[in-house]
Structure 1
Amino acid sequence: MGPLGTIGHYILTPLYYAVSGVMLAWHWLFSQIGLDPEGGASWGLSIIGLTLVIRAALIPLFVRQIKASRNMQLIQPKVKELQKKYGHDRERLAQETMKLYKDSGTNPFASCLPILMQMPIFFALFRMVDQAAKKGTAHGFLTETQAKEFGKAELFGKLPLAASFTDSQGILAVQIVAAILVLAMTATTFTTQRQLMSKNMPPDALTGQYAQQQKMLLYVLPVVFAVGGIAFPIGVLFYWTTSNLWTMGQQFWVIRNNPAPGTEAAKAKEERDRKKAEAHGLPAAEGAVATVTEVEPEDKRPAQRQQPKRQTKAQRQKGGTGRPPGGTQRSQNQKRNGNQQ
């Protein structure tokens, strides 16, 4: 084992335990409800269950991804201004752009976090399926018996989970199912990215460098998945397709309920809210007025009377300034009464 193999072993070993532990928990559950523990259905559904657990754990990263993507959209006008100002100096442009990212709290790489976090898990599952099928090697919490069952598991009695489009074991049904899963994986990737660009990006963000990057990902990622997917085992394709479906549904929910300002999705939400308010007998305009009129005045207390400034004895004797109008007259009356006495 070379240096790279040693590093990969230390990285993947903890993931083997995490992946196998979650899969075995789902496998035990499906076995309890009547599925054959050695059958492909229990192992295939365990892979899908593993996907759901991982994607649920990655929700905080997805939230950061949404915020980063939204911030990137909102600062595009400022990025364009920097490009016009420092377009002749690439080094200065890069410095000012990074400063803008820092000041706005935007991380341009945060949108890649969910994919990057899933890649090690993906490779761990790939090696578990591949080595269990070819060598019966057990990883993580899998026993040798379970590894052999996992490696030989077949869906519907004729679709090995370890088979792939390029290694179909001479079974035409394997190639058909693998091709369908690869197409589904590619289509969901394209649809998710297209949905983001068409509905949740303001007009200013549809031009410029950021938009070009998004358009490139729109076409490059599906091609990468399609080319690489034909070599993935069916069990791994179950994982990736399920993960893409989760991403597509999760993003649809976010775009529908919390769209970026100034986008088509935001206009659609405003229209839905208006119709919903009218259905309840309260038009949106009246609701806004009611909200404003319900605000109480900040302070209804009467203004306090300003007290006169205190004066020294010398000032009072001289009739100094700052005393109220009646103050001087009062002092004169007191002097007059004293003289009379």
Structure 2
Amino acid sequence: MTPVVANILQPLIDVADVILQFWHNTVGLSWGWSIVMLTVVVRIAILPLTYKGVKGMQNMQRLAPEMKKLQERYKDDKQRLNEEMMKFYQEHGFNPASSCLPLLLQIPFFISLFYLLRADQFKADIRGEESFLLIDNLAQPETGLVLVTLILLYVATQLAASLVTAVSGDRNQRILVLVLPLIFIPILINFEAGLLVYWITTNVWTFGQQLAVKKFLPAPEPLSSGDGDDKATAGDGKAGSTQGAGGLRGLLDTLKGSAAASGGNGASATTERAPSGKAGAAAATTNGGPRRPPPHAPRKKKKRSGRRR
């Protein structure tokens, strides 16, 4: 850390000092609990951006299947892939950087507290009240069993916060989540104890916040091009079922009509035929036409008498 960074962050360092002084001098909390409340104030201040980041993360999760298709389609053309991804982001109003804003905004506050705890004026202010729970001095690095306890608390809370925040079951991401806290251990052992209190507190906040997000802001279903087809297919199936039922009724009606028509045609044909005998006369009478005389009996051949000559 260079003095240039401290000069740039001086306004933020002053704000952190004012917040700590308020919780300690006005409210009456110890310096350790004041650092805890400073963490809470910072996390509350960035809640609007955190909400935006959560929505951005959920949007990315929803669009992940389509993004994967683009990556597979243009895997051999990186430039075209970047162009298509940017176009895809614009079409869906998605900004990948929005999900990283809450984490990025916490870094300046962490650095500001780092400089504040090392300032001579702050060390003079907390002289005689440096202890907090197991910690002997918040403005000094810890050693021994206290350091081991702080490191274990940091690793446990960091793992819990990271695992509950992870949005996919990707194996590489899970490995990164497990390994990342271990990477910071060599750095953390040289930090002031107050910084570890800040980091542990923000991890606990992140864990609780993510549980609340999962309960009150559930992630939407992933976007898939097959959804529309499935819905259309379902709609067609439903329409087909309705049409099938209607078609069955229509078929039955048609068969009935055909049977009736066949019966009528048969009667007409029978009526049109000129039956012989009484049936024919009865049919003619029944049809309302003029009564016809019965046909003459065939003439009988007269038998010749006498013998042949």
Q: Please state which band the TM-score falls in when normalised by the shorter chain.
A: 0.5 to 0.7
The Cα RMSD (Å) is 2.5
**Does the 8 A contact of 1:182 with 1:225 survive in 2?**
no
Q: Distance in 2 between matches of 1:82 and 1:244?
A: 35
Q: Deviations over 1:90-132 (max 9, x none)?
A: 111122112212222222222222221111111111122123x
Distance change in 2, residues 1:177/1:103 (3 Å): farther
1:126 equivalent in alignment to 2:103: no
Aligned residues: 221
| Cα 1:156–1:218 shift into 2, 3 Å | closer
Residue 245 of structure 1 corresponds to which residue in structure 2? 204
Q: C-alpha displacement at 1:227, in angstroms? A: 3.1
Indicate conservation of the 8 Å contact 1:178/1:230, yes or no: yes
Correspondence 1:1-341 to 2 at 5 A: 5=2, 7-31=4-28, 42-131=30-119, 137-138=120-121, 147-150=123-126, 153-155=130-132, 159-165=136-142, 168=143, 175-197=144-166, 201=167, 206=169, 212=172, 214-215=173-174, 217-262=176-221
**Once the two structures are superposed, what CA deviation does each residue of 1:253-310 show, in whole Å capped at 9, x if it has no partner?**
11122211349xxxxxxxxxxxxxxxxxxxxxxxxxxxxxxxxxxxxxxxxxxxxxxx
Rg (Cα) greater in structure: 2
Flag the 1:158–1:177 CA change in 2: closer, same or farther, 3 A.
closer
Q: Aligned to 1:260, what secondary structure does the other structure show? A: coil
- TM-aligned CA distance change 1:18 to 1:105, over 3 Å: same
Question: Would the aligned equivalents of 2:123 and 2:139 in 1 still touch at CA under 8 Å?
Answer: no
- In the TM superposition, residue 236 of structure 1 has moved relative to its aligned partner by 1.0
Aligned partners of 1:70 and 1:157: how far apart in 2? 40
Aligned partner letter, 1:66: V
Which letter maps to 1:44? G
Alpha-carbon contact 2:138-2:192 (below 8 Å) kept: yes
Asked if the contact 1:61–1:113 (Cα under 8 Å) also holds between the matched residues in 2, the reply is: yes
Q: Distance in 2 between matches of 1:247 and 1:67?
A: 15
Q: For structure 1, which runs of at least 5 residues remain unmatched after alignment?
A: 36-41, 132-136, 139-145, 169-174, 264-341
For residues 185 and 134 of structure 2, the distance between their equivalents in structure 1, rounded to whole angstroms, comes to: 27
Unmatched 5+ stretches in structure 2:
223-309
* Percent of aligned pairs sharing the same letter: 35
Cα deviation digits, residues 163-183 of structure 1 (max 9, x gap):
324xx3xxxxxx322222222
Q: Using the alignment, how far apart are the partners of 1:83 and 1:184 within structure 2?
A: 39
- The residue type paired with residue 78 of structure 1 is E
* 1:206 CA drift (Å): 4.2
**CA contact under 8 A between 1:72 and 1:108: conserved in structure 2?**
yes
Q: Which has the higher contact order (CA 8 A, sep 6+)?
A: 2
| Contact 1:154/1:160, CA 8 A, preserved across alignment | yes
